[in-house]
Amino acid sequence: MISDYLNRILPSTEELPCSDDIPVDNEDQNFLPNVLLFLLSSIWADRFDWYFAADMAIYHTTGVNPRVPVVPDGFLSLGVERQKGGKSRRSYATWEENEIVPMITLEMVSHTPGNEYDEKMEIYAKLGVLYYVVYNPEFWLRDRHQPFEVYKLGAERNYQLQIGEPYWMPEVGLGIGRCQGVFDGIDRELLAWYNRTGTRYLMPEEVAQQERQRADRVQLQADRLAEQLRALGIDPDI
C-alpha cells in the first residue's frame, strides 16, 4: 500500500534529469566505469538480471528530496532488468526498481574533491549500498587515503574499510581491483573484475591476442616438427 502510494506521488524517471550536469574533469571518470561495463557485458553475456551505469543519476527516498539525485561515477544493481520495459533508462529511481538499490557504487576522485570520503559515503550508507569503491590514483596522498579502497556496509549502516586487492564480493559473485591491461591498444592502469580465485577477466582484445600467440606457438611447433622429419628423409606433407 505504501509503495503504491509513493509510486503515485513520486515523479517518473521520464520527468527527471539523467545526471547532475556537472562535467567531469578527467577522461578516466567516464572511461574506467565504461570499461567495467564493457567487461560485464562479456562476463555476464547470458544474464539479464543486472544493470551497470556510468555517470547516471540515482533518485531515492532516503534523502531530503526525492528529486535530488546522487550521481556516482558508476554503479551496479542486481535483480533488475538490463533494459527497463525494453527501453534504455534515462536515470535510476529506486521506486521504479522495486526498491532495489545498487549493490556497488564507484567514485573516482579527481582534481576537484567531490566529498567522496564523507558526504557521498553517508548518502550511500543511508541508501543501503552494500559496497562502496573509491578509486583515487592521483590524489590519495592529498586526501590521506589509499589509491584504491573498498568499503562494505556493516550492520549499523556504517562503512568499514576492507582489506585485500582484488577484493572478492560474494554477494556479487565478482572481485574488483586494479590491473595493468591493454585497452584500445594502450597499456594502462585499469579497474577490472576478477573471479573467486583472483584471476582477472581479460578484455576481449587481450583474449584475442592470447589466442593469436597460442596459434603462433602451435604453428612454430608444427614447423619445427616438419624440419625434423625432413632431416630424417621423411616428407611431412605426405
pLDDT of residue 224: 81
**Is the pLDDT assigned to residue 2 strictly greater than 60?**
no
Give the whole-angstrom CA distance, residue 177 versus residue 190: 8
pLDDT of residue 192: 96
Contact status, residue 133 vs residue 105, Cβ threshold 8 Å: yes
- Between residues 141 and 207, the one the model is more confident about: 141
> Residue range 21-32: average pLDDT?
68
pLDDT tier at 210 (50, 70, 90 boundaries)?
low
**Is the pLDDT assigned to residue 50 strictly greater than 50?**
yes
Q: Across-strand partners of 189?
A: 180
Q: Which of 18-27, 101-110, 190-199, 208-217 has the lowest mean pLDDT?
A: 18-27
**Is the pLDDT assigned to residue 182 strictly greater than 70?**
yes
Q: Buried b / exposed e across 69-80, counting CB within 10 Å, b at 16+?
A: bbbbbbbbbbeb
Contact status, residue 71 vs residue 56, Cβ threshold 8 Å: yes
pLDDT of residue 25: 58
pLDDT of residue 1: 45
**Is the pLDDT assigned to residue 100 strictly greater than 70?**
yes
pLDDT of residue 227: 79
Give the whole-angstrom CA distance, residue 238 versus residue 55: 62
pLDDT of residue 145: 96
- pLDDT tens-place string over residues 110-123: 888 779 999 999 99
pLDDT of residue 92: 97
pLDDT of residue 23: 52
Give the whole-angstrom CA distance, residue 225 versus residue 219: 10
